Amino acid sequence: MDKERILAKYVPAEAAPIVARWIDYFKCDFKVSKGRNTKFGDYRPPYNGDNHRISVNYNLNPYAFLVTTVHEFAHLQTWNEYKGGARPHGLEWKLNFKKMMRPFFEKEVFPADLKHAINSYLENPAASSCSDLNLFRALKRYDQQSQGVAVESLAMKTVFMLKDGRTFRKDELVRKRFKCMEINTRRIYLFSPLAEVFPVSGD
C-alpha cells in the first residue's frame, strides 16, 4: 500500500509526504509499533548491512506521532554524520532535530500552542530527553482527539474533523453511506457509517 496514505493515518496529512520521502531517502525500515509505556519511539542504527530502523507507537495523537518521528529521524541523521561519536541527545542531535522540524513549521502543520512548546524545547539547552515534560504536556492536550465516534452516530449537519485536521459537514444518507461536504474545499465525500471522526462542537 502507498506509504504516504498509511502515514496520513498517524501524522497530520501535510506531514505525510515529507516523512514518506525521508523513509525512502534514508533507506529506513519504519514501523508503527504497539504502544509501549517506556518510550514513544525508537531508533536502531544499521548494523550488519541492515537498514536504519525506526519505530513509533501507534497510539500517539498525530502531533505527538510526528514530533516523535522527527526526534527519531534526528537520531538517524546524527548517526549518519557521527556514527557513535555523538551523545544521544547532545548538541549534534539537537541541531538535526531543529533542522528537520523546519519543513513542518513552514507548512504550518502545528497549532500555535504546540509550535511554541516545540520552539522553547528546541531553545532550551537543558531539555534533552525523549520526553521533555513541558512539550509532553502540550502534546498531551491533543490526546482526546484519539477518541472518535462513528459518523452514523452524529446528527445531520454536524461538523466533524478527521485525524488529519480536515473538517466536514454530515449532509445526507445516500444508500448506505453518508454524503459529507469538506468545509474548506466544498467538495463532497462519501463516508462509511462506521468511519471514526471527531465532532467539532458548534457552540
Least CB distance to Zn ion at residue 98 (A):
14
**Nine cell digits for residue 124:** 532550551
Q: Which distant-in-sequence residues (6+ apart) come within 8 Å of 17 by Cβ?
A: 4
Least CB distance to Zn ion at residue 81 (A):
16
- Of all residues in this chain, which one has the CB nearest to Zn ion in the complex? 130
CB nearer Zn ion, residue 61 or residue 78: 78
CB nearer Zn ion, residue 90 or residue 193: 90
Convert residues 112-131 into a mask of x (bound to Zn ion by CB under 5 A) and - (unbound). Answer: ------------------x-
Q: Is there binding between residue 86 and Zn ion (CB under 5 A)?
A: no
Least CB distance to Zn ion at residue 130 (A):
4
Which residues are at the interface with Zn ion (CB under 5 A)?
A: 130
